[in-house]
């Protein structure tokens, strides 16, 4: 067994990390399709307020973070479709400001800055058995939920108005989806960190869009790139003593740059082949 897997905290880190690496880009595909990629950034700050509240009360903070993030997600959805229809970014800004204000106050009241820091930037060593019992089952439920509601999410994400005219329960699907996003964001803070989770929502999807030829391929490549970046980030952070969250995100950036290169080379080869065909036609 390699040295890295001889440590129980790394075993727990890889278990949790791979769950996160799968479900975050899976949710991220639909989220980016809805033009709400920044919602991860908003909900992570709100979830941080839940974490700070849990630490302040001296209880396990992840369930509190989930509850707070879910309430915020429902609030965003309500504002997006009633109070500020057509101004989705404004509803995000309102919830972000509220969550950040709450988090700042609760952090100032908390005595455990080390614990707060681990949720801000992610930490492998602090992943506990309790985290496994919460994150793995909830991650499986999220993946199953996306599978069950896949076509509904797909239809609503592409065109809400057309879906509504077709009789699709748009409001129900949006609410379920936003609750899923909130849960995923709260769960991911343990490994990725609250300040970085939005990057894992966006980067694997952005990379997948460069090479995928269909929506299903986009989902597949997004999840693949998420898992690869998480595993590479955890391994490099262990051997080079780096922050795991930041290393995972830089891994995602490298994958994105690689897909840009692959796409550029592919286009150059296609242009070259087209040029050769035109020359053959001219000669003959």
C-alpha distances in Å from residue 13, one per residue of 140, 185, 228, 271: 17, 17, 14, 45
pLDDT of 76: 86
Give the DSSP letter string of 200-221: HHHHHHHHHHHH-SSHHHHHHH
**CB-based burial of residue 144 (10 Å sphere; 0-12 exposed, 13-18 middle, 19+ buried)?**
exposed
Q: How far apart are CA 275 and CA 147, in angstroms?
A: 44
pLDDT of 252 strictly over 80: yes
Q: How far apart are CA 221 and CA 227, in angstroms?
A: 10
Q: How far apart are CA 22 and CA 136, in angstroms?
A: 11
- Higher pLDDT: 78 or 175? It is 175
pLDDT of 5: 85
Q: How far apart are CA 268 and CA 200, in angstroms?
A: 30
Return the number of other C-beta atoms located less than 10 Å from residue 121's C-beta: 17
C-alpha distances in Å from residue 87, one per residue of 30, 34, 76, 80: 19, 13, 11, 7
Confidence of residue 232 (pLDDT cuts 50, 70, 90): very high
- Higher pLDDT: 281 or 178? It is 178
- Higher pLDDT: 94 or 20? It is 20
CA 249 from centre of chain: 11
Confidence of residue 278 (pLDDT cuts 50, 70, 90): confident
pLDDT of 118: 82
User: Could you say which DSSP state residue 7 is in?
Assistant: S
Least confident among 95-99, 117-121, 183-187, 219-223: 117-121
Does residue 24 contact residue 188 with C-beta atoms inside 8 Å? Answer: yes
Q: What are phi and psi of 281, to 5 degrees?
A: -65, -40
128 Cβ contact list (under 8 Å, min separation 6): 12
Closest by CA to 76, choosing from 90, 86, 57, 63, is 90
pLDDT of 200: 92
Q: Hey, where are the domains in the chain?
A: 3-283
Closest by CA to 76, choosing from 135, 121, 36, is 36
pLDDT of 126: 79
- Higher pLDDT: 124 or 130? It is 130
* pTM greater than the 0.95 cutoff: no
Q: pLDDT tens digit string along 129-182?
A: 999 999 999 999 999 999 999 999 999 888 888 888 888 898 899 999 999 999
97 Cβ contact list (under 8 Å, min separation 6): none
Least confident among 41-50, 156-165, 219-228: 156-165
Q: What is the mean pLDDT of residues 94-115?
A: 83
pLDDT of 83: 61
Confidence of residue 268 (pLDDT cuts 50, 70, 90): confident
CATH number of 3-283: 1.10.3470.10
Rg (CA), the chain: 21
């Amino acid at each position: 067994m390699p040295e890295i897997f001889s440590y129980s905290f790394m075993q727990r880190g890889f278990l949790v990390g791979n769950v996160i690496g799968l479900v975050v880009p899976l949710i991220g595909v639909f989220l980016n399709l809805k033009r709400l990629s920044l919602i991860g950034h908003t909900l992570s700050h709100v979830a941080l307020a839940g974490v700070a509240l849990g630490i302040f009360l001296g209880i396990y903070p992840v369930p509190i973070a989930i509850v707070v993030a879910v309430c915020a997600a429902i609030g965003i959805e309500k504002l997006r479709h009633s109070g500020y229809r057509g101004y989705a970014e404004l509803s995000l800004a309102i919830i972000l400001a509220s969550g950040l204000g709450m988090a700042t106050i609760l952090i100032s009241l908390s005595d455990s800055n080390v614990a707060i820091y681990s949720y801000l930037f992610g930490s492998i060593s602090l992943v506990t058995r309790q985290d496994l019992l919460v994150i793995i089952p909830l991650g499986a439920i999220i993946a199953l939920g996306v599978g069950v509601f896949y076509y509904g999410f797909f239809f609503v994400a592409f065109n809400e108005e057309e879906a509504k005219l077709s009789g699709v329960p748009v409001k129900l699907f949006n609410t379920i989806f936003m609750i899923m996003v909130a849960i995923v964001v709260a769960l991911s803070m343990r490994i990725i960190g609250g300040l970085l989770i939005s990057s894992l929502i966006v980067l694997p999807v952005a990379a997948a869009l460069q090479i995928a030829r269909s929506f299903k391929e986009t989902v597949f490549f997004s999840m693949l790139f998420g898992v690869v970046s998480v595993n590479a980030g955890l391994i490099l952070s262990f051997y080079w003593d780096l922050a795991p969250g930041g290393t995972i995100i830089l891994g995602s950036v490298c994958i994105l740059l690689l897909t840009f290169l692959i796409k550029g080379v592919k286009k150059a080869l296609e242009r070259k082949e087209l040029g050769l065909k035109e020359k053959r036609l001219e000669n003959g």
